Amino acid sequence: MAEYAAFLRGINVGGHKPVPMGKLKKALEALRFTDVRTILVSGNVVFQAPRAKTETLERKIQAQLKKTFGSEIGVHIRTIEELVRVHDSDPFKGFTSGPDVRFYVTFLSGKSKRNLTIPYETPGSHFRILKKTPREVFSVLTLSPESRTVDLMKVLEQEFGKDVTTRNYNTIVRLLSRA
């Protein structure tokens, strides 16, 4: 058995694709996954399953979610070991989070559509992409009237495609503590 984290894309945001966490937990348990735990209401799930390719698990979960909730829901899977490596790489070293400064991890499923030079910084330095790996993008957003989280998401989708999902880094830390 291996421990995995699933990140669902685009659910429970502004009433869009409502997915109750209890029903999500049961849907994954129906796949014979064990120790299924949801974290927050934004589609973060930790579970145990026989070791498999993450792409295989993604397809299996997507099919189950379509059957259970009646709509396509994107899923990004990472092993807990992968998330520990992300955390241990200290991707936000040198930056201080706060009420107006947010750290984000964007999970990718494929190659970037374009070749953005990284590190990338918007005029005014409100948004920075610090690092990109083949599977993740690490960014910092300084909130202001000119830059909001939704603006960051637009840039990320334009650069990396719509099949991405982004989480606040605090969510990753919480998930690793299995809260």
**Domain range list for the chain:** 2-83, 89-176
Class of domain 2-83 (CATH, top level)? alpha beta
**Which residues are registered as beta bridge partners of 136?**
107
Distances (CA, A) of 168 to 35, 58, 121, 138: 24, 21, 19, 10
Which residue, among 129, 126, 130, has the nearest Cα to 146 in the 3D structure? 126
Whether 41 contacts 12, CB under 8 Å? yes
pLDDT tens for the chain, 179 residues: list them: 999 999 999 887 766 788 999 999 999 999 999 999 999 988 999 999 999 999 999 999 999 999 999 999 999 999 999 999 999 999 999 999 888 999 999 999 866 666 778 888 877 778 899 999 989 999 999 887 666 666 777 888 888 888 899 999 999 999 999 74
> Which residues are CB-contacts of 40 (< 8 A; sequence separation ≥ 6)?
171, 174
Can you give the pTM of this predicted structure?
0.91
